[in-house]
Structure 1
Amino acid sequence: MRIQPLAAGWVLLVLVGSIRGADSWQALLGTLRAAGPEGKGSVEAAAAWRRLVQADADVLPQVLEAIDGADPLAANWLRTAVDAIAERQVRRGGPLPVKRLEAFLLDTGHDPKARRLAYELLCQADPSAPERLLPGMLDDPSLEIRRDAVARLIQRAEGLEKAEGSSQAVRLYWRALTAARDLDQIRLLARRLRQAGQTVDLARHFGFIVRWKLIGPFDNTDRRGLDTAYPPEEEIDFAATYDGKHGPVRWIDYQTSHAYGKVDLNAALVEEKEVVGYAAAEFRSDRRREVQLRLATPNAAKVWLNGQLLARYPIYHAGFQMDQYSVSGTLRAGRNVILVKICQNEQTQDWARDWVFQLRVCDRTGGGIRSTGRP
């Protein structure tokens, strides 16, 4: 029963005794990157980690870089190694490699979490770093860094508002809103702008689709409807009439006025149990581009883009929150069609009443993308 500790000690002995210099750290990093789920490489990783954390702080940028593309478990080994190396260096009163950490941070091609870690180390070593760097990081792909940059701009705008009035502050609030991705910051900025007499369209900001074609109800008895292909899945013909659950159904125009693009199918179609509804929207893009479709619904759902099924969500009444589901897709240049299928089940409790959804189109950071040619 003592085989595993002996194995770990043997691996550590080999690593300590046979690897030297820059090549040694590369070998240790390779061992940590090889760690994976279900204990894969864990004995070797533990030994390599203990050796690596004895390294000088000059190795920190290489450890951070090793996080790029690493398995989540391997990345965790590497992040904790960064923390341990930096803590040991600070405790000894030694310097961190500030210039190289800053160079790593400013290269946005690196892993966002690794860059955030570099930023925190940099701020620890150089208190001037936030004021120097954050003004240029409002559009940073790291959401954590972007949040700090937005918070700094909000603080600056609040100071201007008190000292000089609202015109300059309003300009900064708008810039911050454009950059913001976190809901709490966006709501704060919308409130500040509205207090200054500005009109803020949050549905537009987030990229929620508010104009839909709706059709239904179709049958969802015994929850069979989610995987039953009704006619809208075979063709999108807005002039067509189909056999629904109780008779003919046809597409209707619908525009939601909800601030966050919520579509209430109970109100728009019919309030009934064991039914299926479809929502379709045309979305125009000025170019081919990768996007995310982010859906929220308490109902079972499917999502298509240009006839391709992107996602299936079979869960009923497990809550509703913005960006509950996210799936990637490719918009083509010109006209695209997004189709959503929303299924209501048989539950009659008050908390199971909702038959609703919201869907937005955004980039990978959550920045809203709007259909071209729309106001």
Structure 2
Amino acid sequence: MMRSRFFLCLMFLFSSLTTLQAYDVEQDIAQIKQVQKEGQGNLAASKAVKQLSQSDASALIPILNSFEGANPLAVNWLRGAFETIASNAIKQNKLPVDQLEKFILDKSKNPRARRLAYETLIKVDSKAEDRLIPGMINDPSVTLRRDAVQRLIDEAKSLEKAGKKDQAKKVYQQALSGATDGDQVKAIVKPLRTLGQKIDLQKHFGFLSNWMIVGPFDNSDKKGYDTAYAPEEKIDFTSALKGKEGEVEWKSVNTEDDYGIFDIAKSISPYKGAVMYCTADFYSPEEQELEIRLGTPNAWKIWVNGKLLFARNEYHRGMVLDQYSVPVTFKPGKNVILLKLCQNEQTESWAQRYQFQLRIARPSGTGVLSQKPESTTQLSP
């Protein structure tokens, strides 16, 4: 009888300690997530990290789950605690490998957390990469998908080197289906075209290549950035507008550039101290949360359906693919995108670029095409 009571007491004590630890883990995580980049909460977060880092392996999944909604600074603190706990668990052979793999395979989880879980798992499971990465060619995690694409690129190169061109072509095509990073796309496209494959990169990336454009409007002394010219009030393709150099009208323009670059300076005129407006329609079959990804060396503002989404008053900082990513919720049917591009009056050679590229993508980076009903036109007043 006494022995039974003793074991019951031990079980109760163990259960209480486990509950207390779980509570402490949750409390520590909550404290860490309150840290701010201005230094607010640093002291409390530092204390919480030290306490959290002493937890056993049962805290690993809760920490990974906590990445969702955490700011970048908090994620760094949480990552530090995770790595400390994981290191100790590996030494003790207590890493929860099955739970980590389940977390990695759950595409709804935070991409950075999934990557951290993967990097931890492969430290103890040499077969995990071959087992997991091939299935991630279209994964929402940019880094995991990049690994999957790179494996295929390497495989295709080996096949091509061995003279197996048809097989190499198929593998390159498979790699392209998941590639969104510019360097990998170039590494795929060049050999594919050599092998005779026609590739529409504008379609692959989701670039908008057909635009209506009007201008120039006055941007002398950079005053045009904050001046609301007529297109900001109403888009009317039938009316002539008062521009910087007289009346201006909307005109249709397009680009055949692989990466959707439209060069205003070369295609229209190298205007200085000027504002140009460009508009295009994007048709969505349903409400979608996507991203407008823009590259331009010029100051800009962008609207969708009359609502200003984002603006940046900065000139000549270079231009790269996906330089800016602006979240947007597209409504079903037609959505009108209006882009305002401002060029200043600098005369240096490096300050002459007046161009842009714009594409529609999922948060993962994969392109999304406009699905225009056949009975409508691409652009309408």
Aligned position for 1:34:
34
Aligned position for 1:278:
277
Contact map agreement 1:217 1:270 (CA 8 A) in 2: no
Segment drifting more, 116-125 vs 231-240: 231-240
Segment drifting more, 156-165 vs 322-331: 156-165
Distance 2:246 2:21 in 1: 78
Aligned position for 1:155:
154
Matched, 1:180 2:186: no
Aligned position for 1:251:
250
Aligned position for 1:7:
none
Aligned position for 1:304:
303
Matched, 1:322 2:321: yes
Contact map agreement 2:156 2:171 (CA 8 A) in 1: yes
Change beyond 3 A, Cα 1:41–1:233: closer
Change beyond 3 A, Cα 1:34–1:229: closer
Aligned position for 1:54:
54
Helix, strand or coil: the match of 2:176? Answer: helix
What is the deviation of 1:185?
A: 0.8
What is the deviation of 1:111?
A: 1.4
Change beyond 3 A, Cα 1:124–1:298: same
Distance 1:130 1:261 in 2: 35
Alignment of 1:70-219 (within 5 A): 70-90=70-90, 92-163=91-162, 165-219=164-218
1:209-260 CA-to-partner distances (Å, cap 9, x unmatched) read 1111111111112111112111111222222211111211111111112221
Helix, strand or coil: the match of 2:364? Answer: coil
1:137-157 CA-to-partner distances (Å, cap 9, x unmatched) read 112111111111111222233
Distance 2:66 2:157 in 1: 40
One-letter code aligned to 1:121: T
What is the deviation of 1:360?
A: 1.1
Aligned position for 2:7:
none
Scaled by the length of structure 2, the TM-score of the pair is 0.88
Change beyond 3 A, Cα 1:120–1:304: same
Distance 2:282 2:294 in 1: 16
What is the deviation of 1:44?
A: 2.6
Root mean square deviation of aligned Cα = 2.1
One-letter code aligned to 1:27: Q
One-letter code aligned to 1:31: Q
What is the percentage of aligned positions where both structures have the same residue?
45
Aligned position for 1:340:
339
Helix, strand or coil: the match of 1:224? Answer: helix
**Unmatched 5+ residue regions in structure 2?**
1-16
Aligned position for 2:24:
24
One-letter code aligned to 1:61: I
One-letter code aligned to 1:152: R
One-letter code aligned to 2:257: H
Scaled by the length of structure 1, the TM-score of the pair is 0.89
Aligned position for 1:292:
291
Helix, strand or coil: the match of 1:124? Answer: coil
Runs (4 or more) in structure 1 with deviation over 6 Å come to none
What is the deviation of 1:319?
A: 1.5
What is the deviation of 1:163?
A: 5.0
What count of residue pairs does the alignment treat as equivalent? 357
What is the deviation of 1:334?
A: 2.1
Change beyond 3 A, Cα 1:171–1:303: same
Helix, strand or coil: the match of 1:367? Answer: coil
Change beyond 3 A, Cα 1:221–1:31: closer
Distance 1:93 1:158 in 2: 41
Helix, strand or coil: the match of 2:189? Answer: helix
Distance 2:29 2:271 in 1: 58
Distance 2:94 2:159 in 1: 37
Segment drifting more, 114-123 vs 330-339: 330-339
Aligned position for 1:9:
none
1:292-339 CA-to-partner distances (Å, cap 9, x unmatched) read 111111111111112211121111112112212221222222222211
1:261-304 CA-to-partner distances (Å, cap 9, x unmatched) read 11111233322311111111122222221221111111111111
Distance 2:213 2:20 in 1: 67
Change beyond 3 A, Cα 1:28–1:234: closer
Matched, 1:64 2:84: no
Contact map agreement 2:153 2:172 (CA 8 A) in 1: yes
